[in-house]
């Protein structure tokens, strides 16, 4: 007898077929019950909260120095409570962009949610560093923390973003974002906004139809050491951009430190009741100054000319070094 007959040994033909069908049905049920394990889905936030967490933090200074020496590109993400599927999609996308891959990318997540373990985030997202920060100063405070602590050892380019990025959904990465990083980004980029044109606006020294931010005009003067000129300025929202170390270091460290002092100030600081800012709730975890800093990056990195939106619409969305 051949071995292929062994399943049906000693059985009549019909009972044999029924048994095989039975086995197949059981296999199908098992596959159905276990289907979750085959997808690459990550847990949603509510599942994270029940996960054990610890206070383990890693010094970013020490760790960034120990990253691969040939590191041309850092990605700095500010994490609060974004869906991990979304963050993971963003990271996967960045790692696969040809122009960035060549530069040996490292990904650093600053975790501002004390309920989520940084160790767990690192395990789920498989990034190079996760560093816990107190939840003050919104995303702008996080970027300043990174710049100040690594001022002398910044990568040639750093991509700063909130963990939930404009242009990224769980299903897809929008074509303008793919295009910008795949085709418009080169190592000559000094500053490149990473938001679609709907998140850019032209201001007149802190003012547009919706906003009147006197402090923005003052910051212009502080940063450029000239008065804010009458030719309008482009402002981008959401704090999503790529910037070169050259441009970051064109501003002295003390400017970043002063901005950081304001954005991380405790609740007794005058910045939270500033009469020269529009009336608004302001707390250390959500300071109004965060909105001002959000509008300052193009000025800080000398890429605020009023034609920036046009350039972005023409697919040359950057200022070059
Ligand atoms: C984390 O640190 C805070 C403050 O240092 C402490 O109160 C808390 O108990 C710590 N949590 C754990 C899980 O170790
Ligand atoms: C990336 O790493 C490789 C291997 O370590 C190195 O040869 C190359 O020069 C690096 N590229 C950049 C842009 O740093
Ligand atoms: C952390 O958990 C506590 C208790 O469930 C909750 O009150 C707090 O809002 C949570 N914090 C964040 C940042 O989600
Ligand atoms: C800012 O950029 C312009 C070109 O757009 C350049 O002429 C100017 O020198 C730059 N300013 C500084 C301070 O680097």
pLDDT tens digits along 140-188? 999 999 999 989 889 999 999 999 999 999 889 999 999 999 999 999 9
- Residue bearing tokens 């769980």: 170
pLDDT digit string (tens) for 275-312?
A: 999 888 999 999 999 999 999 999 999 999 999 999 99
Q: Which atom of ligand 3 is nearest to the CA of 113?
A: 13
Q: List C-alpha distances in Å: 182 to 96, 99, 166.
A: 10, 6, 16
Query: Residue 145, exposed/middle/buried by CB under 10 A (0-12, 13-18, 19+)?
Result: buried
pLDDT band at 38 (very low <50, low <70, confident <90, very high): very low
Q: List C-alpha distances in Å: 95 to 10, 91, 298.
A: 58, 6, 25
Rounded CA separation 227/221 (Å): 5
Closest alpha carbon to 251 in 227, 220, 205: 220
Q: What is the 3-state secondary structure (H, E, C) of the chain?
A: CCHHHHHHCCCCHHHHHHHHHHHHHHHHHHHHHCHHHHCCCCCCHHHHHCCCCCCCCCCHHHHHHCCCCCCCEEEEEEECCCCHHHHHHHHHHHHHCHHHHCCCEEEEEEECCCCCCHHHHHHHHCCCEEEECCCCCHHHHHHHHHHHHCCCCCCCEEEEEECCCCCECCCCECHHHHHHHHHHCCCCEEEEECCCHHHEEEEECCECCCCECHHHHHHHHHHHCCCCCCCCEEEECCCCEEEEHHHHHHCCHHHHHHHHHHHCCCCCCHHHHCCCCCCCCCCCCCCCHHHHHHCCHHHHCCCCECCHHHHHHCCCCCEEC
- The Å distance, Cα 93 to ligand 2 centre, comes to 20
| Ligand closest to the CA atom of residue 68 | 2
The residue whose CA has the least distance to atom 2 of ligand 3 is: 115
The residue whose CA has the least distance to atom 6 of ligand 2 is: 70
Q: Is 55 in the pocket of ligand 1 (CB under 6 A)?
A: yes
Q: Which atom of ligand 4 is nearest to the CA of 224?
A: 13
Mean pLDDT of the chain: 86
pLDDT band at 32 (very low <50, low <70, confident <90, very high): confident
**pTM, rounded to two decimals:** 0.78
Q: Is 251 in the pocket of ligand 4 (CB under 6 A)?
A: no
The dihedral of CA 14, 19, 20, 25: what is its sign? positive
Question: Tokens at residue 30, please?
Answer: 């098992």
Q: Which atom of ligand 1 is nearest to the CA of 54?
A: 13
- The Å distance, Cα 216 to ligand 4 centre, comes to 19
Q: Are 60 and 76 in contact (CB under 8 A)?
A: no
Q: How many CA atoms lie within 13 A of 108 on its CB side?
A: 31
State residue 6's pLDDT score.
Answer: 54
State residue 59's pLDDT score.
Answer: 41
Question: Tokens at residue 109, please?
Answer: 């997540």
Closest alpha carbon to 187 in 75, 94, 297, 321: 321
- The Å distance, Cα 49 to ligand 3 centre, comes to 9
State residue 153's pLDDT score.
Answer: 87
Domains and CATH numbers, the chain: 2-35 (no CATH), 64-320 (3.90.550)
pLDDT band at 41 (very low <50, low <70, confident <90, very high): very low
pLDDT digit string (tens) for 240-265?
A: 999 999 999 999 999 999 999 999 99
* Average pLDDT of the segment spanning 108-125: 92
């Amino acid at each position: 007898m051949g071995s292929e007959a062994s399943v049906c040994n000693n059985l009549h033909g019909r009972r044999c077929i029924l048994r095989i069908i039975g086995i197949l049905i059981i296999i199908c049920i098992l596959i159905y019950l276990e289907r979750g394990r085959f997808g690459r889905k990550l847990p949603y936030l509510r599942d994270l909260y029940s996960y054990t967490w610890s206070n383990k933090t890693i010094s970013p200074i020490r760790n960034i120095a120990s990253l691969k020496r040939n590191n041309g590109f850092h990605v700095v993400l500010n994490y609060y409570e974004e869906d991990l599927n979304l963050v993971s999609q963003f990271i996967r996308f960045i790692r696969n962009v040809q122009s960035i891959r060549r530069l040996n990318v490292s990904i650093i997540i600053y975790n501002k949610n004390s309920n989520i373990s940084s160790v767990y985030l690192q395990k789920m997202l498989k990034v190079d560093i996760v560093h816990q920060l107190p939840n003050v100063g919104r995303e702008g405070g996080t970027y300043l923390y990174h710049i100040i602590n690594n001022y002398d050892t910044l990568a040639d380019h750093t991509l700063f973003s909130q963990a939930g990025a404009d242009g990224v959904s769980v299903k897809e990465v929008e074509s303008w974002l793919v295009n910008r990083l795949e085709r418009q980004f080169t190592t000559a980029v000094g500053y490149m906004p990473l938001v679609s044109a709907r998140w850019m606006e032209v201001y007149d020294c802190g003012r547009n139809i919706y906003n009147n931010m006197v402090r923005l005009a003052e910051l212009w003067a502080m940063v450029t050491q000239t008065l804010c000129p009458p030719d309008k300025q482009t402002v981008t929202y959401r704090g999503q951009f790529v910037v070169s170390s050259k441009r970051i270091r064109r501003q002295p460290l003390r400017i970043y430190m002063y901005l950081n002092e304001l954005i991380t100030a405790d609740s007794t600081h005058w910045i939270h009741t500033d009469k020269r800012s529009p009336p608004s709730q302001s707390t250390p975890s959500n300071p109004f100054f965060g909105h001002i800093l959000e509008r300052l990056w193009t000025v800080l990195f000398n890429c605020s000319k009023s034609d920036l939106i046009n350039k972005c619409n023409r697919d040359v969305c950057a200022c070059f070094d």
